[in-house]
Chain A
Amino acid sequence: MSYGSPSIGPSSPPVIELRALCRQYPATPPVLALRDVDLTVRRGDHLAVVGPSGSGKSTLLAVLGLLDRPTSGSYALDGVETAGLGDGERTALRGQRIGFVFQAFHLLPHRSARENVELAEIHGGGAGRRGRSRRALAALEQVGLAHRSDFLPSRLSGGERQRVAVARALMGAPALLLCDEPTGNLDSANTEALLDLFDDLRDQGVTLLIITHDDAVSRRAMRRVRIADGVLTEERGAEVGA
């Protein structure tokens, strides 16, 4: 696996730019789930966020995915500052620029693999109905599942289900792929296959942010960010845990 891709570097435009971002949950006492987070993710980056349970990983993913609003700080996604956006604009931005992959796959149980992938275009992206099924097949091809396009999720293995979810996330070529514990429900063989797929995607220029607490997963990322008690620190080779 190549760790240094020529497309990365200070020159490529940032996809994610967080400045002094905080997220506080109202409780007594208030829970500060993210504290002054600064993070820049550039186009083509492959970033792993690691940290123990309850450290704020899911909170970070929700904020990055525009599913939740930060309490303070700024977040620019693909060059668009999100702080002042309304609900509709955030939804549109989410639909057009972000693909999600969840630990629990989140496939609709009564729809075929292809229909599940098509769902991404029904709600988000810019494309119309014409050619949708062809594009869905292409996305399934990209994850190596074209031959399973008519299968219901119940007839797919865990690894295959997660690849369908990845194919769905890839529809409409999002600027960012956000994955929350994508291997959490997979055995080691399926995990390996999925990580190989992620490497392929990175080579194709997809920007990946993967939340995980699995070392095998984070080791294959280009960059590793550790989060503990809402505080984010980047690990760089030997300087880990500075």
Chain B
Amino acid sequence: MSPPATRLRVKRYDPRDLLTEALVGILTRPLRAALTTLGTVLGITTLVITLGVAATAADQITTRFDAMTATTVSVSAPPPHPGSTDLPLLDWDGPDQVRPLAGVTAAAALAEAPVGHDLPVRASAVADPTLAGASIPVVAATAGLPAAVRGTVTAGRFFDAGMVARHDRVAVLGDQAAALLGIGDLSQAPAVFIAGQPFTVIGILGGISGEQFLAATVILPPTTAHDRFAFGTPGRVLITTALGAAGQVAAQAPTALAPGRSTELTVVAPPSLERARKGVAGDTNALFLVLGLVSLVVGAVGIANVTLVTVVERTGEIGLRRALGAARRHIAYQFLLESTGVGLVGGVIGASLGVIGVVSVSAAHRWTPVLDARLALAAPVAGALVGLAAGVYPALRAARREPVEALRSGL
């Protein structure tokens, strides 16, 4: 009459039943479940926002970097030693010497006012006390300057080679300098007075992206500046190159400019493009990643904590299930699945909030949001994994409870 002992195998926990039981376990305590997910929601949101914004910002940085810095080479000569009889390293025909080099798209030579010369700039011959504090530097540059600094002449025109050759008393204002001096309309051929001497303003140069300081300067033809204010040879030659040619141009320019003495020149060239992009992206991502992971750990501790409390509270239920024939592993599976579910919900909500966050931050900065689809998909998975990891210890605790103790505690 006694049934065969071979049937003494614990009943398999049907996955559909397991899923139902875990789901009901979560949903019967909706407020607690919501509060428990909060940690994971915060963690995942932080992670998605930080990673998303980091990617967006890095993309932004590298885009700008590519467009501007990567195509600019600047060659400068050290200031000559007082009393040195050496010939100057750079001369005003420097741009003509580098222009034949492959990859050079524009070049200009630039000299700043000689040391010790105070050159006050005013909009009228009479001293205007309100402008006393505004100091506007005077520089001399060759006719190719607008192209070499990627500027645009917003009004009038830049001086040409003919004006330079004729030593014309003309000046071009950087756009900030023009604003400071109150000069905007060039139809009446306004004048600026440099150390009391009048110069006709023939143009305004704006949108300067290479050498920002030029926006606040008065730019004179080198010949005129030499005649009037004893400007010397240029201190720098600014070169704009085609994308990818900067490295080669930087290597060749000193020799072209000062054959035989090229090593005395200082070359400022952009670092290699790939290195720059990786560097920027790498730095930001590493920092943000640590932040996000810390938040996730906090989320995991939250889930573990609440699950432990739940296990203690549900001691009676555990005992009942064991009495009904549930194996220890069934109990473990159920609590694991519940904490995983809580983590997953947190991950889904966190991913959604994170995506909204990235889009908002990008919108505020007028950036194009860079959203990696893998990130949006990985976030809920990460949440579930956090829940799974957080559930291991409480689940083992639950499974280890003796059914007798568990039953004694009531339900």
Contact = CB atoms under 8 A, between A and B. Distances in A.
A129 B15 CA distance: 11
A123 interface: yes
Contacts of A107: 411
Interface in A101-126: 102, 104-111, 119-120, 122-126
Given A92-B9, A109-B411, A123 B325 contact: yes
Interface stretch (A80-88, A141-149, A204-212): A80-88
B410 to A, nearest CB: 5
Contacts of B1: 13, 79
B226 interface: no
Contacts of A193: none
A123 B324 contact: yes
A95 interface: yes
Given A67-B404, A122-B17, A123-B330, A92 B8 contact: yes
B404 A123 contact: no
Contact of A91 (B5, B7, B28, B325): B325
Contacts of B11: 92, 95, 123-126
Interface in B9-56: 9-11, 13-14, 16-17, 21, 24, 28
Contacts of A120: 324-325
A75 to B, nearest CB: 14
B326 interface: yes
A133 to B, nearest CB: 13
A91 B326 contact: yes
A128 interface: yes
A65 interface: yes
Contacts of A183: none
B277 interface: no
Interface residues of A, number: 38
A107 B411 CA distance: 7
Q: Identify the interface centre among B7, B320, B325, B404: most chain A CB within 10 Å of its CB.
A: B325
B11 to A, nearest CB: 6
Contacts of A111: 24
Given A95-B10, A108-B317, A88 B407 contact: no
Q: How big is the B interface, by class? A: 35 or more
Nearest to B12: A128
B328 interface: yes
Contacts of B407: 67, 102, 106
B14 A129 contact: yes
Contact of B325 (A62, A85, A102, A125): A125
Contacts of A92: 7-11, 325
Interface in B372-406: 402-404
A26 to B, nearest CB: 14
B403 A124 contact: no
A16 B343 CA distance: 47
B17 A88 contact: no
A80 B411 contact: no
B327 interface: yes
B182 interface: no
Contacts of A122: 13-14, 17, 21, 324
A168 to B, nearest CB: 8
B3 interface: yes
Q: Identify the interface centre among A79, A108, A120: most chain B CB within 10 Å of its CB.
A: A108
Q: Identify the interface centre among A13, A123, A168: most chain B CB within 10 Å of its CB.
A: A123
Contact of B14 (A80, A88, A128): A128
Contact of A106 (B2, B28, B328, B411): B411
Contacts of B403: 67
A106 B3 CA distance: 29
A84 to B, nearest CB: 11
A179 to B, nearest CB: 12
A65 B2 CA distance: 18
A88 B411 contact: no
B323 interface: yes
A100 interface: yes
B322 interface: yes
A130 to B, nearest CB: 11
11 contacts: A65-B323, A67-B403, A88-B10, A89-B8, A91-B10, A96-B325, A104-B411, A106-B411, A108-B411, A123-B11, A129-B14
Given A88-B327, A92-B11, A109-B411, 12 more contacts: A79-B3, A88-B8, A95-B324, A96-B325, A106-B411, A110-B28, A119-B324, A122-B13, A123-B11, A123-B325, A129-B14, A129-B16
Interface of B: 1-3, 5, 7-11, 13-14, 16-17, 21, 24, 28, 316-317, 319-328, 330, 402-404, 407, 410-411
Interface of A: 13, 62, 65, 67-68, 78-80, 85, 87-89, 91-96, 100, 102, 104-111, 119-120, 122-126, 128-129, 168
**Closest CB pairs A-B (n = 8):** A95-B325, A79-B2, A124-B325, A123-B326, A110-B28, A123-B324, A89-B8, A123-B325
